[in-house]
């Protein structure tokens, strides 16, 4: 079988590919080798798939359904492996191999086409929040995970080069980050990129998280990305701003997170994503995100 990467993956990786990166060119051969080594039966490549990895639906030699995932080093697949191993299947997809080739993950099969996003909005937020709560555990000792301070520090540097048109929003987001990091609460292992589409239906549990980009820090940082889920619907709604503020309040209360800290991290993450979207040539996404940020 030919392992052609989906267009979505090619486009997303191409936006931020470093000079000389040839991971996409080598991907079909790497996938063939990973399948052959494990004697897997390939069903299909998941389309449209993700923005940072190739996902292949496979079966193990005994017929058990599974997922083979291949990701470039810059997507931090070894960090994902470490987080999944630490969670041990509690709230997240389970590793079927603890140790394997770099950039290759063999995972339990969930229902790839059924995410919590398919539920009505209120129910989707409830189920997503419940899943996220299970992931917030103490990080392992002597861990090598990136910290919220470290990750947002890199992002802050890039944000400072934003267009003068958005300087007020960028300044507000950077000020919020500085204030939040000055007195952080207890740290937990976080999913890092949590949103409704990252929660899939499973057999062991009704809903399980996939695709973490784990980071260690305060829970409000993780929850902030969930606040802006379905941002296009929020922007299209006449009551979008009021709905957003109610969502911040409801999520903060339901997960026992400080409301102002959640608002601050939601602002920072929305502005950072908006500025990045502008930088890589996605003006429509940037417009939605920065309008959303202005409501906060």
Domain ranges of the chain: 7-108, 114-294
Examine the pLDDT at 77 and tell me if it is beyond 90.
yes
Could you tell me which residue, 283 or 99, shows the higher pLDDT?
283
Pick the CATH number of 7-108 from 1.20.1440.230, 3.40.50.1400, 3.30.420.250, 3.30.200.20: 3.30.200.20
- Using 50, 70 and 90 to split pLDDT, how confident is the model at 217? very high
- Write out the two tokens for 6: 């989906």
Question: Is the whole-model pTM more than 0.75?
Answer: yes
Pairwise CA distance, residues 261 & 247, whole Å: 14
Portion of the chain with pLDDT greater than 90, in percent = 81
When pLDDT is averaged across residues 73-87 and rounded to a whole number, the result is 95
pLDDT tens-place string over residues 219-235: 999 999 999 999 999 99
Class of domain 114-294 as given by CATH: alpha beta
Same fold: 7-108 with 114-294: no
Q: How confident is the model at residue 146 (pLDDT cuts 50, 70, 90)?
A: very high
- Percent of the chain past pLDDT 70, that is, above it, reads 97
Q: Is the pLDDT of residue 53 over 90?
A: yes
Nearest Cα neighbor of 192 from 155, 160, 166, 162 is 155
Q: What is the pLDDT of residue 2?
A: 67
Average pLDDT over the chain reads 93
For the stretch 60-74, pLDDT in tens is 999 999 999 999 999
Predicted local distance difference test score (pLDDT) of residue 117:
93
């Amino acid at each position: 079988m030919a392992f052609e990467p989906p267009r979505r993956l090619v486009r997303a990786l191409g936006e931020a590919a470093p000079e000389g990166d040839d991971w996409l060119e080598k991907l079909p051969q790497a996938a063939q080798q990973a399948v052959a080594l494990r004697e897997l039966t390939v069903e299909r490549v998941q389309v449209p798939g993700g923005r940072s990895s190739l996902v292949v639906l496979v079966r193990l030699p005994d017929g058990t359904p599974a997922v083979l995932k291949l990701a470039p080093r810059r997507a931090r697949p070894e960090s994902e492996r470490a987080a999944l191993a630490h969670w041990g299947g509690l709230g997240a997809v389970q590793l079927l191999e603890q140790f394997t080739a770099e950039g290759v993950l063999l995972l339990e099969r969930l229902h790839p086409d059924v995410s919590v996003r398919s539920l009505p909005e209120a129910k989707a937020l409830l189920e997503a929040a419940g899943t996220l709560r299970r992931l917030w555990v103490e990080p392992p000792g002597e861990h090598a995970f990136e910290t919220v301070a470290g990750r947002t520090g890199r992002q802050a540097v890039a944000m400072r080069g934003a267009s003068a048109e958005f300087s007020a929003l960028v300044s507000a987001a950077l000020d919020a980050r500085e204030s939040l990091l000055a007195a952080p609460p207890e740290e937990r292992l976080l999913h890092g990129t949590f949103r409704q589409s990252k929660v899939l239906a499973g057999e062991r549990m009704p809903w399980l998280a996939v695709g973490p980009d784990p980071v260690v820090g305060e829970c409000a940082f993780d929850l902030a990305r969930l606040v802006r889920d379905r941002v296009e619907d929020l922007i299209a709604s006449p009551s979008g701003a009021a709905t957003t503020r109610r969502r911040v309040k409801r999520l903060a209360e339901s997960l026992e997170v400080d409301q102002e800290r959640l608002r601050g991290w939601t602002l920072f993450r929305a502005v950072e994503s908006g500025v990045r979207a502008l930088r890589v040539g996605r003006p429509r996404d940037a417009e939605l995100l920065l309008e959303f940020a202005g409501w906060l």
